[in-house]
Amino acid sequence: MLNQFRGLLGHTLIYGLGNYGIKVFGFLLIPLYTRFLAPADYGVMALVSMYTQVMFIVMNLGQSTSLFRFYYEHDTEEGRERVVAASIWIVILFAVPLAAIPLLFNRPLAQLILGDEALWFLMCIGTATVLCKVLLRMPFAIMRAADQSKRYAGWSLARNAVSMVLAVVLVAGLHQGATGVVMSQFLAELVFCFLLTGMTFRMLRAGFHWKDIKEQLLFGLPFVPVGAASFTLDLTNRWFLKHYYSTSDVGIFSLGYRFAEILTFAVMAFQLSWPQFLFKNRREPDAPQLYADMTAYYLAVMLFLWLGLAVFAPELLRIMATPEFYPAAALIPIISFALVFDGMGFMFNIGALFSKKTILRTISVTVAAAVNVGLNFVLIPRYGMMGAAWATFIGFLVQMSTTLYLSLHIYHVPYRYGRLLGMLAAALVIYGASVLVDTHSVITSIAIKVPLVLLFPIALVSVGLFDPKDLAAGLTMLEKRVPKSAGVLRYLRPLLLRGHHTREP
């Protein structure tokens, strides 16, 4: 079990670093952005990002999932090339024409989204960026399908690094403000389109097969409303804040969300490696138990990351941002916990993936989005940014719960709910204790909070997370990797393994 989780985690880290390194780079750029961009400028940048994300959902046509679903049905290179070729034809025949629509209506879009028709050019740049992203999805998907995780990560990191350098030049050097941030993303995507799409279009040698195109398109299309509902759940709060308050509020809220999205690095990384893990182990006799254990380990990792982010949020803001952005600290624990629920919903979605009933995912996300929109109407006018944060939290909780309920009716996984709830309770108690730490010194606060966060792994042992064999193997591996820990482990080993002689059924 430990070796399987290590393998899954290894691919997760590589994929996550590659594909979502941009979030890490974006996090590192916060000191630059908060010093060269006013909250209103940061709000404009966030609203353009909101637009590009919803456009990618529409133009991608659900093909990120569809390609993998059909790719693994073939054992020959010829069959797999036909799958990739069909996905390319979908981009050519449908995605490219869709890009023309927002280009024709750029001024009304700018007025609707940004509240200023004069910013029409940002809508055009954003649309062009999305088209490049859709084209780039293909070569990166081929690398993932071939398990070329290191190559995938290398190219992704290079793309993110170019985007970061361009952002520094355009924002700090040329003082282009929000326009510089949007333009840096477009230029980076364009450069790598020229570098990588050649390997994609070579797959067109497999020919034009309408049957394959139709089958993959029909499988992927249900993911479009899923993506639209996810967008509603995740991003419409910015529009509500702009409508009821100001772009400055959008900027502060978006900065808090940016900090919380550090957790998305892990969430999305697991989402990139989890489908391959599911399908490869599907025929194993103990597959349901394997999935249950992997989900528990995943939640443990996510809660530990959440604690680190939520506990140190005030100190991070004081170190990285200017005082006008400090109110974002109160939002980070709520939003990041919501993202934990988002990740758990994806882990629970096994039944829909195995049964090809993608409509189930559509139902769960749509229900959650409807709840979220209703809460946005109720909470944001009264509570502002905090109302937006709580609406997001409840929306993702509803999504996770609905996904679990629907999925278990198709494919039963023996989750140990007591263990999962025990981990949640331990994390919340530790976070509650950290809130009581109130000092004027950043260094003193960090020094007090670090031991609190480190209590969490001990709590994981107490709730019986680890199989005793895995726990013993992990301690042995740690002792080999870090010989200096031998003395401490010799004392801790009997304490950690005490009471773990048998595995809970």
Distance CA 126, CA 339 (A): 25
Angle (CA) 378-379-383 rounded to 5° is 140
Q: Are 489 and 478 in contact (CB under 8 A)?
A: yes
How remote is the C-alpha of 325 from its chain's centroid?
Answer: 23
Distance CA 47, CA 45 (A): 6
Q: What per-residue confidence (pLDDT) applies to 107?
A: 92
Tell me: pLDDT of 390 over 60: yes
Tell me: pLDDT of 365 over 90: no
Q: What per-residue confidence (pLDDT) applies to 500?
A: 46
Torsion region of 498: left, alpha or beta (phi above 0 gives left; psi -120 to 50 gives alpha): beta
For residues 78, 79, 80, 85, the Cα torsion angle rounded to the nearest 10 degrees is 80
- Give the closest residue to 372 by CA, choosing from 265, 238, 243, 224: 238
pLDDT digits (tens, 9 = 90+) for 235-283: 778 888 888 888 888 889 988 888 888 887 777 767 766 776 777 778 8
Q: What per-residue confidence (pLDDT) applies to 416?
A: 87
| One-character DSSP codes across 331-385 | THHHHHHHHHHHHHHHHHTHHHHHHT-THHHHHHHHHHHHHHHHHHHHHHHHHHH
Model confidence at 501, pLDDT cuts 50, 70, 90, reads: very low
pLDDT above 90: percentage of residues in the chain: 20
Please give the residue that has the higher pLDDT: either 58 or 395. Answer: 395
What are the CA-CA distances from residue 442 to residues 34, 266, 320, 330, 390 (Å)?
A: 19, 26, 12, 16, 27
Q: What per-residue confidence (pLDDT) applies to 187?
A: 94
3-state secondary structure of 303: helix
Q: Which of 38-42, 116-120, 416-420, 459-463 bottoms out in mean pLDDT, i.e. has the lowest?
A: 459-463
Q: What per-residue confidence (pLDDT) applies to 14?
A: 53
Give the long-range contacts of residues 495-502, CB within 8 A, separation 24 or more.
496/461, 496/471, 497/468, 497/471, 497/472, 500/461, 500/464, 500/466, 500/468, 500/471, 501/468, 502/468
Model confidence at 217, pLDDT cuts 50, 70, 90, reads: confident
Please give the residue that has the higher pLDDT: either 127 or 277. Answer: 127
Model confidence at 480, pLDDT cuts 50, 70, 90, reads: low
Distance CA 195, CA 192 (A): 5
Angle (CA) 263-392-156 rounded to 5° is 35
**Averaged pLDDT, 105-133:** 89
- 């509570």: which residue's tokens? 383
**Averaged pLDDT, 290-309:** 89
Q: What per-residue confidence (pLDDT) applies to 2?
A: 47
Distance CA 64, CA 245 (A): 36
**Averaged pLDDT, 142-151:** 73
Tell me: pLDDT of 13 over 60: no
Tell me: pLDDT of 21 over 70: no
Q: Are 240 and 379 in contact (CB under 8 A)?
A: no
Q: Please give the backbone phi and psi of residue 282, each rounded to the nearest 5 degrees, phi first.
A: -60, -35
Q: What per-residue confidence (pLDDT) applies to 492?
A: 56
Q: What per-residue confidence (pLDDT) applies to 292?
A: 87
**Averaged pLDDT, 164-168:** 89
Model confidence at 394, pLDDT cuts 50, 70, 90, reads: very high
Model confidence at 334, pLDDT cuts 50, 70, 90, reads: very high
Helices 313-320 + 287-311 axis angle, to 10: 50
Please give the residue that has the higher pLDDT: either 12 or 374. Answer: 374
Model confidence at 12, pLDDT cuts 50, 70, 90, reads: low
**Averaged pLDDT, 74-86:** 80
Tell me: pLDDT of 427 over 90: yes
Burial code of 29-62, b = ≥16 C-beta within 10 A, e = fewer? bbebbbebbbbbbbbbbbbbbbbbbbbbbbbbbb
Q: Are 357 and 409 in contact (CB under 8 A)?
A: no
Q: Which two tokens stand for residue 287?
A: 């597959």
Q: What per-residue confidence (pLDDT) applies to 312?
A: 93
Write down the mean pLDDT value for the chain.
81
pLDDT digits (tens, 9 = 90+) for 347-363: 888 887 777 676 777 78
Q: What per-residue confidence (pLDDT) applies to 474?
A: 56
Q: Are 260 and 339 in contact (CB under 8 A)?
A: yes
pLDDT digits (tens, 9 = 90+) for 23-34: 566 667 778 888
pLDDT above 70: percentage of residues in the chain: 82
Tell me: pLDDT of 331 over 80: yes
Tell me: pLDDT of 17 over 70: no
Angle (CA) 282-283-287 rounded to 5° is 60
